[in-house]
A and B are shown apart, each in its own frame.
Chain A
Amino acid sequence: MLRCVEFVEQVTEMEEGASRPLARLWFQLHRLACRYCRRYLRQMRAVREVMQAPASPE
């Protein structure tokens, strides 16, 4: 079972889709089981999304 201390180190790897299927499964199981890690993930996603500049014609 993944531990919280490992979960926080794997967030970006998971979000980038760079992890192996088994690691992904452990991550998702932990996410379902731990509300604090769900909160951590939610906050990481929020800061990522809030930084996005308005769409430019680039």
Chain B
Amino acid sequence: MFVALVQRWRGGLLRVAQAITGNASTAEEVVQETWTSVLRSLETFEGRSSLRTWVHRVCVHVALARIRHDERASVPDEPVVDPDRFDEYGHWREPPARWAEETPEALAVRREVMDCIERTVAMLPVRQRVVITLRDVQGFRAEDACEILGVTAVHQRVLLHRARSRVRAECERFYREAA
């Protein structure tokens, strides 16, 4: 049973650990340490969330402990779109550029776009990177992401909004340059 869980959740835990540490080999160590920690503290699991959510939360804590403190800064309070792109009435002066592909299916087959998305996610501030990995890559629910990260619903949403907006902005830059 335990071995089956370790194998089944390995990929997801590695993705989360790598999103935080930015390093594949450190992520491997974090996942190993996560399971050690899970075994050590299993008796404290109260079943208030699913076991999967709890294990991912342990993984986030282990990974965050590995990185420098200054990388755990809070979200900057700045607009997600450059204010210069709007006129004095708050309407688009420089609207979003049209993309050659705008459906997920079409984007997915364009390797350069997927590379651009991957690079952008890797460069996001750590908590934004974790939230977008949990929510959009791994499909965790908002409540589970809050539980795993230990943040409020509003904070989780702000992190997610900034992360998604940044990815969209980089895709827009890619299409502008490709045009």
- A residues 2-47 near B (Cβ < 8 Å) are 3-6, 8-9, 11-13, 16, 18, 34, 36-37, 39-40, 42-47
Q: Tell me the chain B residues, 122-166 only, with Cβ under 8 Å from chain A.
A: 132, 136-139, 142, 153, 157, 160-161, 164-165
Choose, from B5-13, B27-35, B65-73, the stretch at the interface: B5-13
Give the A-B contact count at a CB cut-off of 8 A. Answer: 98
Interface magnitude class on chain A? 20 to 34
CB pair B142–A16 under 8 Å, yes or no, is yes
A49 neighbours in B (Cβ, 8 Å) = 104
CA distance A49 to B96 in the complex (A): 19
Which residue on chain B has the smallest CB distance to residue A7? B90
Residue from the list A12, A36, A44 in contact with B95, Cβ < 8 A: A36
Closest to B118 in A: A51
Do B157 and A56 have beta carbons less than 8 Å apart? no
Contact indicator A11/B161 (Cβ below 8 Å): yes
Which B residues touch A46, using CB under 8 A? Answer: 102-104, 107
Bound-state CA distance A12–B52 (Å) is 25
Assuming A3-B86, A43-B99, what are 10 further A-B pairs, CB within 8 angstroms? A3-B89, A3-B91, A5-B86, A9-B79, A12-B160, A13-B157, A37-B92, A39-B102, A45-B104, A46-B104
